[in-house]
């Protein structure tokens, strides 16, 4: 089935699921949405997708990332072992623990203005760092950069996608600097809880703000928490979130 058709079917099915989950949730923020895709589709602007407000075909559409926290996960990690005491040496789990213990998240540019970081350079980065990229990630050096970061176990990253058919920003035009400045401000926030845990909620509030923060258009938040494994292939992914989702953000 073509990806666009599968996406529309999933979004239609999700409308009722998310509405029911929001209604059952205690007063507060809406339930988050996790979108698990293979690396070949990491260029999808998942937070810019439009979803019907209910199951009716004539229902109005709204941008899903303005309605709730939306994160991208790596479905290719689904077969990775569940994190436990024995998984401390796993780079995915180790880097997540590094983010939890970091008093402040540190952005690291995968490229711009320099050439994309190589595997050895990425491997040597401290565990509290968050890869950031302004290049198109659907192919080429940008695609290689985010795939390399995912393969090395980075659980959180931010990059730009070609949302709504707009061309990818030209680094020379200043759009990328605005993007990097916005990300730096986002990641510099400190509070009583680990900064990484509130990241999806803080990105959502920037998207939902009036006016919306311009640098968040096309922003993809890759947020792959190893403590919360994705459903297996035989399980139904479109279910009302339970205890795990209440703690996800």
- pLDDT averaged over every residue in the chain: 82
Determine the Cα–Cα distance for residues 223 and 71; give it in Å rounded to an integer: 6
Report pLDDT for 89: 56
pLDDT at 231: 81
Q: Are 19 and 238 in contact (CB under 8 A)?
A: no
Nearest to 133 by CA among 100, 168, 158, 166: 158
- What's the token pair of residue 159? 């990059």
Please name the helix (run of DSSP H) or strand (run of DSSP E) that holds residue 160, with its range, or none. strand 156-160
- In the predicted model, what is the mean pLDDT of residues 77-97? 68
In this predicted structure, what is the pLDDT of residue 174?
63
Tens of pLDDT, residues 10-63: 888 888 888 888 888 877 789 999 999 999 999 999 999 998 877 777 888 899
Q: Find the Cα–Cα–Cα–Cα dihedral 107, 35, 138, 158, rounded to 10°.
A: -10
According to the model, what pLDDT value does residue 10 have? 87
What local confidence, expressed as pLDDT, does residue 190 receive?
76
Residues 105 and 158: their CA atoms lie apart, in Å, by 12
Pairing state between β 156-160 and 129-133: parallel
Tokens of 58: 């004539």
Bond before 113 cis per omega within 30 degrees = yes
pTM: 0.84
Is the model more confident about 216 or about 247?
A: 216
Task: Report the distance separating Cα 249 and Cα 244, nearest Å.
Answer: 10
Confidence of residue 106 (pLDDT cuts 50, 70, 90): very high
Residue 224 is predicted with a pLDDT of 96
Percent of the chain whose predicted confidence (pLDDT) is above 90 = 44
| CA–CA dist 223, 196 (Å, integer) | 9
Q: How far apart are CA 236 and CA 231, in angstroms?
A: 7
List, for residues 142-163, the tens digit of each pLDDT value.
889 999 999 999 999 999 985 3
């Amino acid at each position: 089935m073509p990806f666009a058709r599968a996406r529309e079917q999933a979004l239609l099915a999700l409308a009722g699921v998310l509405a029911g989950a929001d209604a059952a949730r205690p007063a507060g923020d809406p339930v988050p949405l996790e979108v698990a895709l293979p690396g070949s589709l990491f260029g999808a602007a998942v937070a810019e997708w439009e979803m019907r407000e209910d199951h009716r075909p004539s229902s109005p559409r709204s941008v899903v990332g303005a309605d709730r926290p939306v994160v991208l996960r790596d479905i290719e990690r689904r077969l990775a072992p569940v994190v436990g005491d024995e998984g401390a040496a796993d780079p995915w789990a180790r880097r997540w623990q590094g983010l939890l213990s970091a008093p402040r998240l540190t952005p690291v540019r995968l490229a711009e203005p320099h050439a994309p970081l190589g595997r050895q350079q990425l491997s040597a980065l401290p565990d509290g760092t968050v890869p950031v990229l302004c290049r198109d990630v659907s192919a080429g050096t940008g695609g290689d950069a985010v795939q390399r970061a995912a393969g090395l176990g980075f659980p959180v990253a931010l990059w730009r996608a070609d949302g709504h058919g707009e061309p990818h920003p030209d680094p020379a035009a200043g759009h990328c600097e605005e993007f990097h400045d916005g990300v730096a401000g986002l990641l510099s926030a400190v509070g009583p809880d680990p900064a990484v845990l509130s990241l999806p909620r803080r990105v959502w509030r920037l998207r939902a703000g009036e006016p919306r923060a311009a640098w968040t258009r096309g922003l993809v938040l890759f947020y792959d928490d190893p403590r919360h494994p994705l459903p297996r292939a035989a399980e139904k992914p479109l279910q009302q979130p339970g205890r795990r989702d209440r703690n996800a953000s």
